[in-house]
Structure 1
């Protein structure tokens, strides 16, 4: 019995010294912890079931992640917005291994992509590159949403944040949702943000993403994602079914766009034209290396890296490039 106790203690100590987790109990239990009671109460107030399907939206510039849940009306409603502790790179899509870019696009996360044993507490894989990105020759792997406050192409939400997100996703999948959609955007795709970034080389790509963004904003239904002509196409039925060649021209569509969505797009275009001609729109932001939510940046600036680590229980993984986190975003030339 004593030998068994000693062996167990040695194993536990090995896990602690490895720096990825704080205890063996955490390894065994963190991926199965229940949804917090406060979040369950929020679901109840918003007419949501813990087992209802979810959808995730990510916004780089605002450093926020949203969890949406289908409510009793059959539409998605916002459950909670989480501040993002760290993301890396610039605004724009990920294109190659080592560019430190966090992905932008539409992704599908299934049960096998949830990782309860991540070195960054808990994580789920975005599935980059998706079918479009692979056809365009983009490279990279293991791009995650995870805990901690360190990023090299991932989205870091702190351990506390990812624990809630992971639990909500796990329960939806256990209840029968085969996969959930993740929509990753450079910014909230308002007319002002679009105009501020109209000279960016990624603007045409962002215009494609905005079509999916607008569909969800108007309908509160998950957009159906297709690929052709080297771009995303949303809520479209094609003659002959889904295009097999992602880079070939899109086949003729057999359905008409939703008139409410089309009206939203037209209204935004009018607003963008007005803003562009007014001369009152500020310059787009630049980044040395990614962003950090203002709530974390304020703490980092005031009290330093150790204080931020303590505040967010980040005792094993350092904050990536804290100097860049304090500098970003900044105006070009600063």
Structure 2
């Protein structure tokens, strides 16, 4: 089975297929047309650590977003939970806005885009760090690393949307797919209050299929609120008066999702024994198969034209969710 996976991936990851300057391929354009979107339409990115996946969402003619493509992630570092200080090897979790100035077509990791960590809320909370990227090569020290071919496609897609008038695209970075079941599996984690806040934004997007309006006050993210006197001046001061941007039906659906989490967390079920088992980040199971079969040197050559080795391969093989 591993041999079959390795053979299939080695074909799709051939370095000859990676353009020096990423451009939208005819295949991607045709796929967009089949899915009712265009290269010029707005884009949104979602990242999931536990699943080691990055999603590209594209807007259709109605303005609603639909999943366009899911990319397996080659490497991320740290553990589940937000980044709080420089050098902690944590990949960020939260909501970020990426503009054209944050794209780097000449990255040392092929191409990349900067998430913009620390964002305004994180700065106010005293979090430190810089140059947290989504990039090529299978090496991470706080970043999200894709294959060269994967980041090439992603870069071309987001660059085209920005070049076509989208001021910035939203990146939603999560510890895992934020179902009530996954929340319950990690109920003993000290990051749970923060993750419950992230889930509010996750649910808002899932229900509306529109990027949530993200604000910050009271030391947390606040979603889809219209503030009477304009956006809060301080991300850590108490939230000023506001009104809900969503209608009563959508707000009720969000309350239902919150109730599901309350029930799941209250259930007399043990938390997952793997919740804190990460040695140092993870890797998608498809790449884990290549790493196990071929070793880190061969894998590094398969996934990237740069000279960066797979970061901490032993830790990647220890990914409790990479089975």
Both proteins in one fold, TM over 0.5? yes
1:216 matched to 2:200? The reply is: no
Point out the more displaced range, 278-287 or 176-185: 278-287
Match of 1:95 in 2: 84
Deviations along 1:286-321, one digit per CA (max 9) or x if unpaired, are 210001001001111122113322332455110000
Give the TM-score of the pair, scaled to structure 2: 0.89
For residues 116 and 147 of structure 1, what CA distance do their matches in structure 2 show?
A: 11
1:166 to 151, 155, 177: 155
Structure 1 segment 132-171 matched on structure 2, within 5 A: 132-171=121-160
Selected match of 2:57 from 59, 65, 68: 68
Residue 38 of structure 1: how far off its partner (Å): 1.5
Q: Is 1:265 paired with 2:254?
A: yes
Match status 1:290 vs 2:281: yes
Separation in 2, partners of 1:57, 1:302: 29
Is 2:45 aligned against 1:56? Answer: yes
Alignment-derived partner of residue 14 in structure 1: none
- Does the residue aligned with 2:83 lie in a helix, a strand or coil? coil
User: Pairwise CA RMSD of aligned residues?
Assistant: 2.1
Closer/same/farther in 2, CA of residues 30 and 315 from structure 1, 3 Å limit:
closer
2:191 aligned with 1:202: yes
Bigger relative contact order, structure 1 or 2 (CA pairs below 8 A, ≥6 apart): 2
Q: In the alignment, which residue of structure 1 is the partner of 2:67?
A: 78
Q: CA deviation at 1:283?
A: 3.4
Structure index of larger Rg: 1
Range with bigger deviation, 299-308 or 316-325: 299-308
Please state whether the residue corresponding to 1:254 is helix, strand or coil.
strand
Structure 1 pair 184–330 and aligned structure 2 pair: CA distance change class (3 A): closer
- 1:283 and 1:259 map into 2 onto residues whose CA distance is 39
Q: Which runs of 5+ in 1 are unaligned?
A: 1-21
Question: Which has the larger displacement, 205-214 or 265-274?
Answer: 265-274
Question: Could you give the per-residue CA deviations for residues 141-195 of structure 1, whole angstroms, max 9, x where no partner exists?
Answer: 0000000000000000111100000000111111111111111011110001111
Q: Does 1:328 align with 2:319?
A: yes
Alpha-carbon shift at residue 330 of structure 1 (Å): 6.7
Secondary structure (helix, strand or coil) at the match of 1:287 reads: coil
Q: How many equivalent residue pairs?
A: 305
Separation (CA, whole Å) in 1 of partners of 2:181 and 2:274: 10
Cα distance in 2 for partners of 1:162, 1:39 equals 14
Q: Which runs of 5+ in 2 are unaligned?
A: 1-14
Q: Which residue of 2 aligns with 1:311?
A: 302
- Tell me, yes or no, if the aligned pair for 1:149 and 1:314 is still in contact at 8 Å: no
Match of 1:279 in 2: 269
